[in-house]
Amino acid sequence: MSETMKEYQPRPDLLAGRVILITGAGDGIGAAAARACAAHGATVILLGRTTRKLEAVYDAIEAAGHPQAAIYPMNLEGAAPKDYDDLAATIEREFGRLDGLLHNASQLGTLTPLGQYDVAQWSRLMQVNLNAPFLLTRACLELLKRSADASILFTSSSVGRQGRAYWGAYAISKAANENMMQIWADELEANTPVRANSINPGAVRTAMRARAYPGEDPNTLPRPEQILVTYLYLLGPDSKGVSGRQFDAQ
């Protein structure tokens, strides 16, 4: 059963003092989430594969006078376990802490019957959508455990909660993220301050949505900035103790 906190009103300093890592932070929901987290006081680490886009988000955060962000260019498709360990070591060296981890980057792949799914594309997509959240969580776990109140947020989709024809590797990767979230939540519940939840953004006006639904009028959809309060709730202290649960942003 999924829940929503879309009526939640985050206070301006909700995330003050927190360090939050966001993947896919250069565009779409990730970029908007990064700006919103910074606007609520967080130091945001912007991870993505296109440096130019990350720089634009960095500049917007700086121009708004929010805590200075950091850029970490990384292509999750080709990243090896050691790259994740290096990232965690860099965060520890530069910031000494990590309080939030938003697994947001994803590939849509192609919408095609499962039996005809291109095997090479399947592997590439799983590397980004499934292996990356696993490897990144694993690498950052010790840092997260040291935070007084750490939150891991997995990004799902309606097709991750109920499979649908032609959504192939994307839907399966999202369902696996839901399951991975539950396992992390269950394992971390006992003796750590780390919680894990999942969020389904719902239909949002982004490049990925336009690729999935080319005939749709984007103006009928909310912009990423309009769907973020549940993200802020889950990344901030007001959701302390909430773990292993599924949320809808809309």
Minimal distance in Å, beta carbon 158 to ligand NDP?
7
Find the farthest-apart pair of alpha carbons in the chain and give their distance in angstroms, rounded. Answer: 51
30, 67, 168, 236: which one contacts ligand NDP (CB under 6 A)?
A: 30
Residue of 170, 213, 231, 233 marked catalytic: 170
Closest to ligand NDP by CB, 43 vs 106, is 106
Half-sphere exposure in the Cβ direction for 195 (13 Å, CA): 19
Q: Is 173 in the site for ligand NDP (CB under 6 A)?
A: no
Please identify, using beta-carbon distances, which residue of 26 and 236 lies nearer to ligand NDP: 26
CB of 136 to ligand NDP, least distance (A): 11
Residue count at the site for ligand NDP (CB under 6 A)?
27
Stretch that binds ligand NDP, among 70-78, 83-91, 114-122, 145-153 (CB under 6 A): 70-78
DSSP the chain: -EEE-TT----TTTTTT-EEEEETTTSHHHHHHHHHHHHTT-EEEEEES-HHHHHHHHHHHHHTTPSP-EEEE--TTT--HHHHHHHHHHHHHHTS---EEEE----------GGG--HHHHHHHHIIIIIHHHHHHHHHHHHHHHSSSEEEEEE--HHHHS--TT-HHHHHHHHHHHHHHHHHHHHHHTT-SEEEEEEE--S-SSHHHHHH-TTS-GGGS--GGGG-HHHHHHHSGGGTT--S-EEE--
The residue (of 10 and 26) whose beta carbon lies closer to ligand NDP is: 26
Taking the complex as a whole, the smallest distance from the CB of residue 91 to ligand NDP amounts, in Å, to: 17
**Contact at 8 Å (CB) between 199 and 158?**
no
Stretch that binds ligand NDP, among 14-22, 47-55, 141-149, 185-193 (CB under 6 A): 47-55
| Span of 36-44, 182-190, 205-213, 235-243 interacting with ligand NDP by CB under 6 A | 205-213
53 forms part of the interface with ligand NDP (CB under 6 A): yes
Start-to-end CA span in the chain (Å): 14
Asked if 157 touches ligand NDP (CB under 6 A), the answer is yes
- Nearest to ligand NDP of 54, 194 (CB atom): 54
* Sequence letter at residue 42: A
Is 170 catalytic? The answer is yes
- Counting contacts by CB under 6 A, is residue 248 touching ligand NDP? no
Q: Interface residues with ligand NDP (CB under 6 A)?
A: 24, 26-30, 48-50, 53, 75-77, 104-107, 128, 155, 157, 201, 203-204, 206-209
Q: Tell me which residues are annotated as active site.
A: 170
